Copies of this chain bind each other. A is one copy, B any other.
């Protein structure tokens, strides 16, 4: 199929076309390849903001308030709500999406929910491609929201320029939870619901945690590709009230400060490089998995290996090594 008509419309800012292209890239990686191929040179203009927080931290209200400010600034905004735990599109996030939609005319805000329909790893790839479509569509800011359940968020946030993590006063162990994986990639910590008791305590806890992690750098064991965008950047901490908008001016300053940091220090080029590596890795995983599956299904030699494993004269690890040698010759 030829997608040039659709792509032309996308670049003109046609909303329905953007939605359609996202569905196409979500459902089929081969189609995604063609589409991204055509639009790639038109990407790179949007600022990508990753936002996460455990349930109850007030993500929807926070994002709504943020969007209102961006709209007032005349920005065009894309929002991608990612829920890696949901096998269905929508789920918990669909409610948020609808709630958010109420507040805005669709003209300058494009909202999309994504869930884990396919294989593991596929969601990060689909999210990356969706970001590119919204970028080419003309969004100035793309917000990627996740549900904050751990490693999947880390994968998804590798595409974000600035990662914002929401906490609330008194949610007990949330700092402990945030520590596992997300902490390493957080640029701005937001203590939401600052009107509640314990907001200052939470800020102090965060400061202490960052102090304890003075040698703050990426742990290459945890994050496979050296994701060095935050080197020399000490995460900012800010308390806000999403209902009243209090302190959002300071928050936006802090986000700008991080943006400036990325640009001035040249960190942004490291960030881009790492983002490209991560994306390519995701794509390669898909492509190689497909090749291996074909081999596992229809190759005589592999069939022989499988029988040997069944008879226990070979084990799965040794079989994997033999297949790598085959791939080396064939591909």
Contact = CB atoms under 8 A, between A and B. Distances in A.
A249 B202 CA distance: 53
Given A280-B296, A293-B224, A319-B280, A120 B310 contact: no
Most buried by B among A37, A269, A317: A317
A316 B150 contact: no
Contacts of A120: 120-121, 151-152, 155
A125 to B, nearest CB: 10
A24 interface: no
Interface stretch (A80-88, A97-105, A190-198): A80-88
A327 B319 contact: no
A128 to B, nearest CB: 8
Contacts of A121: 120-121
Contacts of A310: 269, 272-273, 276
Contacts of A324: 284, 287-288, 331
Interface of A: 32-33, 36-37, 40-41, 43-44, 85-88, 116, 118-121, 128, 149-152, 155, 177, 180-181, 224-226, 269, 272-273, 276-277, 279-281, 283-285, 287-289, 292-293, 296-297, 306, 309-310, 312, 315-321, 323-325, 327-328, 330-331
